Amino acid sequence: MLRPGHIIELDGGVSRGTRLHEFGFSRRMLADAVNAGEIHRVRPGVFVTSTTSPDVAEAAAHGGAVTCARALRTWGVWTLKEDEAVHVWLGGTGRVHHPTTCSCVGHFFAGPRSLGVAPLDVVLVHVYFCHGEEAFFAALESALRQRRLGRPAITRIRRGLPERARWLMDLARSDADSGLESLLRLRLHLLGIRLDCQIVIPTVGRVDFVVGGRLILEADGKENHDGEQSRHRDLMRDAAASALGYETLRFDYALIVHGWAVVEAAILAALARL
């Protein structure tokens, strides 16, 4: 027998009462389901289940959708910054409905209000305004890499950005293996340093970047470079590159994100030597 919770789960964990009415559930039936603990009313006319994501339930209690960094996580997109509190998209004229204890951050960007998790193209525009150019660029390239954005969505993102930021769309590529690569390329681009990306070198393999034909730059994310075997593989690659006349510089998450001055100095010094 079809239950309200089934529909709510199919809707991503949150449904409006009007949506449930379309499946024949009257107000009385919904009230009975709430009293039985099968579903939960987070605000008048909005329902969730016990399996609904806490972020989605909190956003629904405010009448909006999850956006910014927590929404990126839900979409499976790389994020540079984390949101301590849930960021809720409430449309251009929405009102925040605060529960008793509330730490949400309301975003009043134009657009039709929705529940659940905001569309990815909307989330990316919000990230630009909320977290800045770098967080936006890294998330954009991650989404492009995963082919989560079609042409219409890319067009909407461009229109949603201020004109001064649209160059980021032109710079973005779809072959960045990690957000660290995106950050490295963006920052070096701003220094006027041209990078050749994802280059295959015989006996070495594919490297993240080559500068000036002789300097290899690698952004080592934890997921692909942790462990003794991975370390040995990287050393073998670096040795093979050295035999061909290349110099290799490797930088991890902590250096790129938190120690950029060290990274910049190392790259500039290597370029001066070469």
Which amino acid is it at 23? F
pLDDT in tens, 173-205: 999 888 999 999 999 999 999 999 999 999 999
Task: Indicate the DSSP class of residue 64.
Answer: S
Task: Tell me the pLDDT of the chain averaged across its residues.
Answer: 91
pLDDT digits (tens, 9 = 90+) for 12-70: 999 999 999 999 999 999 999 999 999 999 999 999 999 999 999 999 998 899 999 99
Asked if residue 5 and residue 67 are part of one domain, the reply reads: no
- pTM of the shown model: 0.89
Q: How far apart are CA 140 and CA 125, in angstroms?
A: 10
The boundaries of the domain holding residue 72 are 63-173
Q: Confirm whether 261 is domain-assigned.
A: yes
155: confidence class by pLDDT, cuts 50, 70, 90: very high
Same domain, 180 and 162: no
∠136-234-217 over CA atoms, to 5°? 45
- Residue 15 domain flag: yes
Q: Where are the alpha helices (DSSP H) in 132-259?
A: 133-145, 151-160, 167-171, 179-190, 222-225, 228-243, 253-258
- Does residue 257 sit within a domain? yes
- CB-based contact 48:42 (threshold 8 Å): yes
Tell me, yes or no, whether 80 and 32 share the same domain: no
241 shares a domain with 196? yes
Q: Are residues 67 and 34 part of one domain?
A: no
